[in-house]
Amino acid sequence: MAFIGAMERVRADDGPRFLVKGGVSIELRLGLRARATKDVDLVFRGDPPEMREALEEGLAQPFSGFTFRRKGEVGDIRDTGSRRLLIQLSFGGRDWQTLQVEIARPEADEIELVPVAVSISDFGLEAPEQVACLSLRYQVAQKLHAVTEQPNDRQNLRFWDIVDLLLLEELLGEDLAPLRDAAVSIFATRGTHAWPPELVIPASWREPYARTAGEMDASLPAGIDEAAQRVRQMIRDIAAA
């Protein structure tokens, strides 16, 4: 939360330059019921050449006693336009934690202010009460794209998107038309496969899904076959909205 608070300070006339997405935004929404993640996924709301300067602006000043520095170079993530880097957090003059941060290009930048479910302010540390996140409908649309992609040059490893989609299902509400529109937009922008997609479950997902589902304090199917059927029904419901 300290790093997110630091990034929240970087703003333009139209709002925050960085939005939180991915596992951290799910933790913000669901608290301890969410899947634990060590990575921080952000969207940069600006021109790509401006991203590094905006990042350094956020890292320059301490936040709630934490200081920040970039470790190593900023790397490209294949041909996605996203960047990956490591951020060292220090507290009280000592290194405390290294975060892996991924910063995506703004294929969608619809803002949703999410109240923090579990805040570090409970421990006497400064923290934002709400965080600017990528809106829920676009986050779900991106996960539906990622979990159904079948790349020719690598294996799709994203079994965890099955977990996240089932956790987020309760937040979607009855009107799925806005989510359908977001999914159509994301699939068209990325251009790898068509909406609505087919969900194919590799054999390599079975064990890690079962382990993750068993470790979580949430009502999830124990096996991935039942979980996949629920996600397939979700896709059908969204497409029919």
The 3 state secondary structure assigned to the chain is CHHHHHHHCCEECCEECEEEEHHHHHHHHHHHHCCCCCEEEEEECCCHHHHHHHHHHHHCCCECCEEEEEEEEEEECCCCCCEEEEEEEEECCEEEEEEEEEEECCCCCCEEEEECCCCHHHHCCCCCCEEEEECHHHHHHHHHHHHHCCCCCCCCCCCHHHHHHHHHHHHCCCCCHHHHHHHHHHHHHHCCCCCCCCCCCCHHHHHHHHHHHHHCCCCCCCCHHHHHHHHHHHHHHHHHC
pLDDT at 75 over 80: no
pLDDT at 116 over 90: no
What is the pLDDT, as a whole number, of residue 118? 62
82-93 mean pLDDT: 92
117-135 mean pLDDT: 75
* The overall pTM is greater than 0.75: yes
46-51 mean pLDDT: 88
What is the pLDDT, as a whole number, of residue 191? 93
Domains and CATH numbers, the chain: 2-134 (3.30.460), 136-240 (no CATH)
- Range in 25-34, 86-95, 143-152 with the lowest mean pLDDT: 25-34
pLDDT at 241 over 80: yes
Confidence band, pLDDT 50/70/90 cuts, at residue 77: low
pLDDT at 179 over 70: yes
pLDDT at 192 over 70: yes
Question: Is 234 or 218 the better-scoring residue by pLDDT?
Answer: 234
Question: Is 44 or 31 the better-scoring residue by pLDDT?
Answer: 44
Instruction: Share the mean pLDDT of the chain.
Output: 91
pLDDT at 239 over 90: yes
pLDDT at 207 over 70: yes
65-84 mean pLDDT: 82
Question: Is 38 or 179 the better-scoring residue by pLDDT?
Answer: 179
pLDDT at 106 over 90: no
20-34 mean pLDDT: 89
pLDDT at 141 over 80: yes
6-21 mean pLDDT: 93
